[in-house]
Amino acid sequence: MDQEKIGQFISKCRKNKNMTQMQLAEKLGITDKAISKWERGKSMPDPSLFMPLCSLLDITLNELLLGEYIPDDKIKE
């Protein structure tokens, strides 16, 4: 897993949802500093936050861990 790539992807997805770091942090019950660390590739979200984060950003867990969108035609059921 490339932390920097994942961080940039989280940032991109958050901005696509027109959310600030603070808004995302409040929805996840964490600090905006934690979001900042993720987005700069300094740390990763706690595994317990993976699914809530994916839900808020409308991405899949695989997309989060890859750090990029997966085209619909590439998703296997």
In a domain, residue 73? The reply is: no
- Name the average pLDDT for the chain: 93
Q: Do residues 58 and 29 lie in contact, with contact meaning Cβ atoms separated by under 8 Å? A: no
Q: 17 Cβ partners below 8 Å, 6+ apart?
A: 56, 57, 58
pLDDT in tens, 49-73: 999 999 999 999 999 999 999 887 7
How many folded domains does the chain comprise? Answer: 1
The pLDDT, as a whole number, for residue 41 is 93
Q: Do residues 12 and 75 lie in contact, with contact meaning Cβ atoms separated by under 8 Å? A: no
Rounded to two decimals, the pTM is 0.90
Query: Tokens 């990763």 label which residue?
Result: 44
Count the Cβ atoms, other than its own, within 10 Å of residue 46.
11
Q: Which has the closest alpha carbon to 27: 38, 16, 19, 36?
A: 19
pLDDT in tens, 18-55: 999 999 999 999 999 999 999 999 999 999 999 999 99
In a domain, residue 76? The reply is: no
Parent domain of 44: 3-66
CATH of the domain at 27: 1.10.260.40
The pLDDT, as a whole number, for residue 1 is 76
